[in-house]
């Protein structure tokens, strides 16, 4: 993912909290430009963030991900290379652009996030080359939409090679209750 983060002073955005729920909302005036303290763009996403963190700890790391065939993908690949993360298992798919998100950060709560998952949703079992799983640890980032169907295949291949598995399964996996079954076996 490519993340664009807008940091807005809390005085410029209204906040509304629901009295009958644990939800709160940032209100932006339609058609009005809101002055930001900072707007910055970063390479992000669960798979990339964890890969970079592991590489910075001195581990030998490769990322298996699906990107579009676009400039956002080139930015991500360049960043991974700079951080010493292998991109040998990265797949490119011209059917959809690389994912992107926009964060609106204000107040003392979590940011509001607009997300376009793009090529992230197109990971398929055919993209999961068996050799990629001959490692010590496999970390599974949140898989969205159709890509989530690869979760059990990834776990199976990792187990076949004796790799430890760590996962950030996301709501769809948790609702299907597959995580506990796959990680405990």
Q: What is the pLDDT of residue 114?
A: 93
Distance in angstroms (rounded) separating the CA atoms of residues 140 and 151:
8
| Residue 185, pLDDT score | 36
What predicted TM-score, i.e. pTM, was given to this entire model?
Answer: 0.84
* Confidence band for 23, pLDDT divided at 50, 70 and 90: confident
pLDDT at 161: 96
Nearest-angstrom CA–CA distance, 168 and 145: 15
pLDDT of 17 higher than 90: no
pLDDT at 183: 41
Mean pLDDT of the chain: 87
Residue 115, pLDDT score? 93
Separation of alpha carbons 150 and 125, rounded Å: 6
């Amino acid at each position: 993912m490519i993340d664009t983060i807008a940091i807005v002073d809390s005085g410029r955005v209204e906040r509304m909290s629901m009295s009958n729920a644990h939800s709160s909302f940032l209100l932006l005036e339609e058609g009005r430009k809101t002055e930001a303290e900072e707007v910055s763009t970063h390479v992000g996403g669960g798979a990339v963030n964890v890969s970079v963190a592991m590489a910075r700890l001195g581990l030998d790391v490769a990322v298996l991900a699906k990107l579009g065939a676009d400039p956002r993908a080139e930015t991500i690949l360049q960043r991974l290379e700079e951080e010493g993360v292998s991109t040998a298992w990265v797949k490119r798919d011209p059917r959809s652009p690389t994912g992107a998100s926009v964060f609106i950060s204000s107040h003392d709560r979590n940011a509001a996030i607009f997300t376009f998952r793009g090529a992230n949703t197109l990971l398929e079992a055919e993209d999961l080359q068996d050799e990629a799983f001959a490692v010590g640890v496999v970390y599974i980032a949140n898989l969205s939409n159709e890509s989530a169907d690869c979760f059990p295949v990834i776990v199976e291949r990792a187990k076949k090679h004796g790799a430890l598995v760590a996962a950030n399964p996301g709501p769809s996996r948790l609702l299907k209750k597959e995580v506990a079954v796959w990680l405990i076996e």
